[in-house]
Amino acid sequence: MSAPAHFEVSYAINPWMEPDRWRPDDATLRQQAHAGWDALRATYEGLGAVVETMPPAAGLPDMVFTANAAVVIDRQVLLARFRHPERQGEEAHGQALFAQLRARSLVDSVHALPEGVCFEGNGDAVVDNTRGICWMGYGPRSDLRARETLQAVARRPVLALALVDPRFYHLDTCLCLLTGGELLAVKRAFSPEGWAQLQAIAGPQLVEVPEEDALQLAANAVCIGRDLVMGYCSATMRQRLEERGYRARVVPLDAFRRAGGSARCLTLELGT
Ligand code: ARG
């Protein structure tokens, strides 16, 4: 995780970001961001997770969304290349972080993408250990061409899904894997072919996220054991989770939703 010391909405690279609506409430929203981030970290630690932090940097307000820095699969790291110039300054920080994690033996090897190929890390990758595959989202941010590199680093099949709704611009805004193998998914975010593929592979483990929750970025959640850490959960969603043996742990992350992110975006799972 990376603390929100410099977090704000000062540019717009997705439909959630409205700098003109952020600015008038800047001080309050910053406070909310700090409180939400602290609560998120405390929730993870309360569930037994160990949190590593990456120092924030001035001028990189979205660096708080560490999910985009890389994807880590079985201790192999593939570093991100960002689509938008506004976030490209984060790449050097991601490189430095993983060099350190490697020196500390928390990961084994660090890989880069070929020149000119964009891929936004865990934002567009859902590592599915239940099925021995990796789901990849492409279109708004990541290039389909990144699949080849991801597959080589992941050493498992990568199934690529086109993202068709600009509000669900990263795969982790519309697909969430639970520890038991269930996949929470926002139907409108996928092409008919993509949805059919999810249905074919997940079968009854595919759980549709209600519209109300989807529009609060509730699918951008992190599952630890039977707890699902998320920024929002309607009564309907809560029931769908409880029926399957999961508890919703709601953390107030609305300030981050204004940048198009929630719990999972704020977290890069290292898996070690
Ligand atoms: N404002 C950031 C962007 O548009 C939000 C990133 C959210 N991260 C995620 N993993 N979905 O890039």
Question: From its phi and psi, is residue 117 left (phi > 0), alpha (psi between -120 and 50) or beta?
Answer: beta
Instruction: Extract the tokens encoding 99.
Output: 């060099």
In the sheet that holds 125-128, the strands lie side by side as: 125-128, 133-138, 158-162
pLDDT tens digits for range 232-270: 999 999 999 999 999 999 999 999 999 999 999 999 999
Per residue in 128-144, pLDDT tens? 999 999 999 999 999 99
DSSP 158: E
Average pLDDT over residues 107-118: 98
Residue spans of alpha helices (H) in the chain: 19-22, 26-46, 85-88, 90-103, 146-154, 192-202, 211-214, 235-243, 254-257
User: For residue 169, which phi and psi values (nearest 5 degrees)?
Assistant: -85, -15
Our answer to whether residue 118 is catalytic in this structure is: no
Q: What domains are there in the chain, each with its CATH number? A: 19-257 (3.75.10.10)
Q: What is the pTM of this model?
A: 0.97
| CB-CB contact of 1 with 69 (8 Å) | no
Question: What pLDDT score does 272 carry?
Answer: 61
The 10s digit of each residue's pLDDT in 158-211 is 999 999 999 999 999 999 999 999 999 999 999 999 999 999 999 999 999 999
Radius of gyration of the chain (CA): 17
Length of the chain: 272
Q: Relative to the CA of 264, which ligand 1 atom is closest?
A: 10
The 8-class DSSP code of residue 69 comes to G
170 assigned to active site: yes
Rounded Cα distance between 126 and 143, Å, is 16
Query: Given 170, 174, 223, 233, which residue is catalytic?
Result: 170
- C-alpha to C-alpha distance for 249 and 258, rounded to whole angstroms: 20
**Centroid of ligand 1 to alpha carbon of 259 (angstroms):** 7
**Nearest partner of 63 among 44, 38, 41, 89, judged by Cα:** 89
Helix, strand or coil, per DSSP, at residue 82: coil
Mean pLDDT over 92-116 rounds to 97
222-224 and 227-230 beta bridge pairing: antiparallel
Q: What percent of the chain has pLDDT over 70?
A: 100
Sorted by sequence, the CB contacts under 8 Å of residue 99 that are 6+ apart come out as: 110
pLDDT of 7 reads 98
Average pLDDT on 30-46 reads 98
Closest CA to 238 of 228, 229, 248, 230: 248
Residue 139 near ligand 1, beta carbon < 6 Å: no
Digit-coded pLDDT (tens) for 55-94 = 999 999 999 999 999 999 999 999 999 999 999 999 999 9
Average per-residue pLDDT in the chain?
98
What backbone torsions phi and psi does residue 232 show, to the nearest 5 degrees? -160, 150
pLDDT above 80 (res 101):
yes
What confidence score (pLDDT) does residue 13 get? 98
